[in-house]
Amino acid sequence: MAGTQPNHNLIRQDTLTRLNTNARTRAKGHLSNKVRPVKKKSPISDKNRKIVLFNKPYDVLCQFTDDQHRQTLKDFIPIPEVYAAGRLDKDSEGLLLLTNDGQLQHKIASPKFKAPKTYWVQVEGVPTEDKLKALRQGVELNDGPTKPAKVKIISAPNIWPRNPPIRERKNIPTTWLEIIITEGRNRQVRRMTAHIGHPTLRLVRYAIGEWTLDNIANGEFILVKQDSMNAPSTKANKKATTSTKTITPSKPKTRQRRAKERLRIS
């Protein structure tokens, strides 16, 4: 009497089901062993929050260490545990904000929050209104179009002299522009002015959101008081921006002066 023949299709299907179930179980166990919940850091209290506004000189790196012994933030800011919110190129000058508050740092640096950044830009030549309009509407760069910017011609701001001075070509005038953007791409302002045929000769960041360079000498910093954290209105900030308030050059720091600053802060 012939025995009942096994259904090979059902066996194969049952085997595949067990393999898939075992694989999912192993994967679940593997992930549970490897992935650990990340503990979120508690927000910095107002009492412990540090906000430093630094007027960065030309030719200073936006970092605290350098293997090539070039000038860094460490040569100017003796405050521990603060980090730059965004960057400012070595060949650019002006406002740099540093903080120990990671959430504030992210809010300023991330384009998601659209924190406006105001630049005073000296360009070669005299841009026409059509070229300024192109910057206002957005120009096409190699990494995509820029967002609309606020751009206008301003008189030369009364600020510190750059060391070394810019290289100017004879018989070619220069123009100062005020450019306000909400992005933070690599060397964006320089690429924008080059795109319209007016290379940037000097670039000074005047403001980041509500914070400005007013009353901060080049190479100096201030520690923002907590009672002055509230942002001024856009109208008030705009007025300060267009006033081109005098910013006096700083005195060279001596070793004795830096040592005294460290003692005061510690």
Indicate which residues carry an active-site annotation: 89
Exposed / middle / buried, residue 121 (Cβ in 10 Å: 0-12, 13-18, 19+): buried
Helix H or strand E encompassing 94 = strand 93-99
CB atoms within 10 A of CB 23: 10
Say if CB 94 and CB 213 are below 8 A apart. yes
- Radius of gyration of the chain, Cα coordinates, nearest whole angstrom: 28
Helix (H) or strand (E) holding 54: strand 51-56
Q: Tell which residue, 27, 75, 81, 24, has the closest CA to residue 54.
A: 75
Three-state secondary structure call for residue 206: strand
Distances (CA, A) of 151 to 39, 95, 104, 125, 179: 43, 19, 27, 16, 5
Contact (Cβ atoms closer than 8 angstroms) between residue 151 and residue 131: no
